[in-house]
Structure 1
Amino acid sequence: MPELRIIAALRRLNRAIALLVGLGLLGCAAFVLADIVLRQVGHSFGGTDEIASYAMALATSWGMAYALLELGHVRIDLVRVRTQGLVRALFDVFAMICMSGVVVAIAVKAWPVLARSLKNGSTANTPLETPLAWVQTPWFAGWVWFALMSCIVTLCALSLLVRGRAEDTECFVGAFAEAETLK
């Protein structure tokens, strides 16, 4: 089925992105650790808290798509767990439609933040005076990526529903606990 091949390809791609983001976080942790050690001898890089906060913002925006495809987002499925088959798949697709709408709205609202920083040449109000566009551009791209992934996953699930393959949606829009039992 083309939908499941698309999901598998997106999972591989997002795992590679997650690995790169994880390496970036490890690099940031090493930088902070080096700064802590330097403080013990009276020196400091300075700005490690600012850089770490940027790293967390980037990791969050890019990590959301990975969490989506690994069924890692929190779900409140009190009603869903009492259903099966088509009804359960409909709950899942409804949840994905809602998520896609929210994430697209976030990505759309993130653009003016970046656009204003680009237009004004904004810098952080910190000793580093980091140009905000340097951080906001990959942050914005992460939200756009998450919105794109969410919409593609939703469309794949809808396609399977329309084709009468509701049970095939469980592995990529279901809940994590149940997905583990399906593997």
Structure 2
Amino acid sequence: MAQSILSLLRRLNRWVALAIGLVLFLCAIFVLLDVGLRKLGASFGGTDEISGYVMAIVTSWGMGYALLELAHVRIDILRGRVGALGRSLFDLFAMLTMAGTVTLIALRCWPVLDRSIANMSRANTPLETPLWLVQGPWFAGWVWFAIVSWLTFLAALMLVAKGEFSQSEAAIGAFGEEEAVL
């Protein structure tokens, strides 16, 4: 059960990663075209604003992928000095903390989006972008990250409860510099 949850999350997040990669690629082309147009004395305008929105959205969506790829930074000074059970408990504590923090962030993002919708807020820029257009996908990315975090925590908890410490470590462990170099 735990491995099927992790496999499903990895498959879904690969699609998310491909989608955000495509969005970043399109954003880069947009910026490059605008730079080229500036050489000709014209401009689309707003490329800095749009690229900032894109970065906020793809960052929130990319966090779930980074979690499953063990790409988040962790300080593991104590973790390496204990056995498999101790490492698993440190990993579970780290995942619980991550899931709780991300959930709190997602919950605090909702009032921002809700207020923008209620007030029909627009960016204070020449584009006057309706903020809900940006904050909606941004909020959804944080919610996705929270869901991925909790499901990953539960899957790892199931693995630890069954004594499958190496599989738990493969799912949520931290790897020191020595291991990353090899």
TM-score (norm 2): 0.95
In structure 1, the partner of 2:55 is 56
Per-residue CA deviations over 1:62-113 (Å, capped at 9, x if unaligned) read 0000000000000100010122211100000000000011000000000000
Tell me the distance in 1 between the aligned counterparts of 2:83 and 2:15: 33
Tell me the distance in 2 between the aligned counterparts of 1:156 and 1:67: 17
Tell me the distance in 2 between the aligned counterparts of 1:132 and 1:176: 39
TM-score (norm 1): 0.94
Is the aligned partner of 1:86 residue 2:85? yes
CA contact (8 A) 2:76 2:176 kept: no
CA contact (8 A) 2:91 2:173 kept: yes
In structure 2, the partner of 1:39 is 38
How many aligned residue pairs are there? Answer: 179
Tell me the distance in 2 between the aligned counterparts of 1:58 and 1:177: 30
CA contact (8 A) 1:72 1:176 kept: no
CA contact (8 A) 1:86 1:167 kept: no
* 1:9 CA displacement: 1.5
Amino acid at match of 1:20: A
In structure 2, the partner of 1:139 is 138
Please, which moves more after superposition, 162-171 or 70-79?
162-171
* 1:172 CA displacement: 0.9
Tell me the distance in 1 between the aligned counterparts of 2:86 and 2:167: 13
CA contact (8 A) 2:60 2:142 kept: yes
In structure 2, the partner of 1:130 is 129
In structure 2, the partner of 1:24 is 23
CA contact (8 A) 1:89 1:166 kept: yes
- Cα RMSD between the aligned structures? 1.3
Amino acid at match of 2:64: A
* 1:177 CA displacement: 4.9
Tell me the distance in 2 between the aligned counterparts of 1:25 and 1:127: 23
Query: Where in structure 2 are there 5+ consecutive unaligned residues?
Result: none
Percent identity, please: 58
Please, which moves more after superposition, 36-45 or 168-177?
168-177
